[in-house]
Amino acid sequence: FGECLWSPGVFRMPLSAASPTEFSIAFALAPDEPDASLATGTPREAHLQRCVQGALPAHAQLLRPLIEAADDFLVTRKVAGRELMTIVAGYPWFADWGRDTMISLPGLFLTTGRIAEARSCLETFAAFVSEGMIPNRFDDDEDGKAHYNTVDASLWYLEALRCYAEASGEKLQADGVLLRAATDIIAGYTRGTRYGICVDPADGLVTAGDAQTQLTWMDALR
C-alpha cells in the first residue's frame, strides 16, 4: 500500500483575535482572473441573513454560525412533482431519516422562524405514510425507495407536528394532509402494523419487534 502525499501548495497567514481574517477560493474553468465577488453578496448569503434575522434578531450575529451550520442539512426532495423540504441526517452518505428529521425539525426550522419550510418537511413524510408509519429512511439513489423499519419515527412525527402547530398557530384541518397523516399513524399503532408494532391493550405501551428486527436508534436486536 502506498499513500500519495502530493499537495498543490500551502497557504499561510497570520491570525489575530483583534480582527477577522477571510480566506476565499473561487473555482472556474481556466479563469483569467479569479472573481472574488463570488464569495460575497450571493443569494445564499442573503438567504442566510434572512434566516438569522427571522430567528432571534437580538442575538442574530451570535447565532449566525449555528444557523449557517444548520442550513447545510436542509435540502429538498421531489414528491409527486413538488419540491418539498427535508433534512439530511449527515454527510457524506446519509440521506433523510425519519427519526433524525423529526427530532431536529423544531430546532432547525421552528426556532429559526422557517415555519413554511417546517410544514413542507412534514408534508414530505406525510406523503409516504404507509400502514400508519413514516419511513425510517430513503435509499440515496434516484429511486429513493422508502424503508419503514423503525418503531419510533412515526411517534416523533406526531411530536414534531405538535410543535409546528404550536409555533405556527395553524388550525389543522381534519381532511388536510398533516392531520390525516397523524390520524393514520395513531390508527396504525392502535390496530398494529409492520414488525409487530402495536399498542399493548394491557398497559397502553408500544411493543414491537422480534429477534430478527432492528427498530430502535441503537439498531439493536431484541
| Tens of each residue's pLDDT in the chain, 222 residues | 567 777 878 888 888 889 888 888 776 655 566 555 555 556 667 777 777 766 666 666 777 788 888 888 999 998 988 999 999 998 877 889 999 999 999 999 998 888 999 999 999 999 999 999 999 999 877 778 999 999 999 999 999 999 999 999 999 998 999 999 999 999 999 999 999 999 999 999 999 988 888 899 887 776
- Predicted confidence at residue 22, as pLDDT, reads 84
**Residue 65, C-alpha cell as written in the block:** 454560525
* pLDDT score recorded for residue 94: 85
pLDDT at 123: 97
pLDDT for 199 equals: 96
The identity of residue 163, as a single letter, is: C
| pTM for this prediction | 0.77
Task: Return contacts of 110-115, CB within 8 angstroms, 24+ apart.
Answer: 110/163, 110/164, 110/167, 111/55, 112/51, 112/54, 112/55, 112/67, 112/70, 113/51, 113/54, 113/55, 114/51, 114/54, 114/74, 115/164, 115/167, 115/168
Q: CB atoms < 10 A from the CB of 203, how many?
A: 7
